[in-house]
């Protein structure tokens, strides 16, 4: 293996979590996730000759991975979350029985958060994922190709929208018979 190929393989292996994080954010169905992981890896390899070593590899990788994921979602359409027909009903939130436990409440909040995230526009999901990954506003701006002030504005609006959607979800859950 030549030096460039080995360097790419080493960097990809060191930062592979980024690829899986992006794929998990944009695809809930396991087959779709695997397809997206492969598509991202292929696009990273195609773009590798243009990588500037003066720039942070993880930022470059995020940018490409997110662009591929957003294109993938837009071109393929979004599939509903996958629930295998042979899965036990109690493993899916829709079939969960409320036993009043703190763990159940935590699971419901996490499921509600995932549902809210899934309803966001692809670019907003990218912004949220980078923010949750504790990336700086400068790095988020670099990855998304927008200004830092735009990152700040979009984040504030997104956090407010998520709060409202989670509040509405909680209110609807308490109205159930």
> Do 71 and 144 sit in the same domain of this protein?
no
Q: Would you give the DSSP letter of residue 90?
A: G
Q: Does a structural domain hold residue 94?
A: no
Euclidean distance between CA atoms 97 and 90, whole angstroms: 7
How does the average pLDDT of the chain come out, rounded?
82
Spatial CB neighbours of 61, under 8 Å, sequence gap ≥ 6: 11, 12, 15, 18, 19, 44
φ and ψ at residue 176, rounded to 5 degrees: -70, 145
Q: How many domains does the chain have?
A: 2
> Do 134 and 68 sit in the same domain of this protein?
no
Tens digit of each residue's pLDDT (9 = 90 or more) over 30-82: 999 999 999 999 999 999 999 998 989 999 999 999 999 999 888 866 443 43
Task: Write out the residue range of the structural domain in which residue 78 sits.
Answer: 1-82
> Do 8 and 40 sit in the same domain of this protein?
yes
Give the three-state DSSP class for 37: helix
């Amino acid at each position: 293996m030549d030096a460039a190929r080995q360097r790419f393989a080493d960097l990809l292996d060191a930062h592979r979590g980024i690829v899986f994080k992006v794929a998990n954010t944009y695809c809930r169905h396991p087959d779709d996730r695997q397809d997206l992981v492969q598509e991202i890896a292929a696009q990273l390899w195609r773009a590798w000759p243009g990588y500037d070593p003066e720039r942070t590899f993880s930022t470059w990788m995020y940018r490409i991975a997110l662009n591929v994921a957003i294109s993938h979602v837009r071109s393929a359409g979004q599939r509903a979350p996958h629930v295998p027909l042979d899965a036990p009903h109690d493993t899916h939130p829709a079939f969960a029985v409320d036993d009043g436990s703190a763990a159940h409440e935590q699971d419901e909040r996490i499921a509600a958060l995932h549902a809210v995230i899934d309803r966001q526009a692809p670019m907003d999901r990218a912004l949220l994922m980078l923010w949750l990954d504790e990336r700086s506003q400068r790095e988020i701006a670099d990855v998304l190709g927008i200004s830092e002030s735009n990152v700040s504005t979009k984040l504030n609006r997104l956090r407010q929208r998520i709060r409202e959607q989670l509040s509405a979800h909680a209110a609807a859950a308490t109205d159930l018979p």
